[in-house]
Amino acid sequence: MKKILLVVHQETSDPGLIGQVLRELKYELDIRCPALGGDLPVTMDEHEGAIIFGGPMSANDEHSLPFIRTELDLLSVVLAAEKPYLGVCLGAQMLAKVLGARVAPHPNGILEIGYVPILPTVEGADFLAPITHVYHWHKEGFELPQDAVLLAEGETFTNQAFRYGETAYGVQFHPEITKQMIDLWTTKAGDQLVLPGAQPYEEHIVGHDRYGATVESWLRQFLQHWLNHPQVTTTSSR
């Protein structure tokens, strides 16, 4: 069975819908957590692609958190091997950093937490359709790396999605989110819901009910395209 490398950052991390769709596409999920002492492969020979998910740490923490340096080094390996890469939130910021772009908090201290509107660029119209709102939970954003293609923009954090080369993608948002994950995140980090830019729990649920199915449909199509996989017919299980 073909394997996809999934890098997570907490004991309770869950690949959510991304993991579900990859399993439906008959991929084995090789889930690693360097933050808890797990190792990472030194080559991509045994994996069809790699995904780095989000986490509360920063892509700039490589000096205080050695596993961040390890993950940044892995990204260089993935890019050199020209294997498909998807960076989700922190994973997108890491991709931007490896490519020489700046990662930093919003200058006014604003966060994005909850469902937030995004707009496709001209280059990203096919990539993003038909999404209008996506789920966020982050305090940092990234500049667009040199030679990358901006695919989506937002009002608070301008750069929301980009592509580098043909198979490396970074998205600032969380397409893997499920209702159960929203409940867990808002419980574990409920203190953040009062920070500037954060939405109250009720708005998270309203947003998920309104936009979640559209994001899931997009995610299924995107992952098939990203892995150059034949389309399969599946049923939603949000």
Segments in the chain below pLDDT 50:
232-237
DSSP state, 110? -
**Rounded to 5°, angle at Cα 202 from 116 and 131:** 30
The pLDDT of residue 12 is 86
The pTM for the full model equals: 0.94
Q: Specify the pLDDT at position 1.
A: 83
Of 176, 170, 168, which is closest to residue 23 (Cα–Cα)? Answer: 176
Question: Tokens at residue 143, please?
Answer: 């500049």
Looking at residue 194, what is its pLDDT? Answer: 96
Confidence (pLDDT) at 134: 98
Note the pLDDT of residue 229: 60
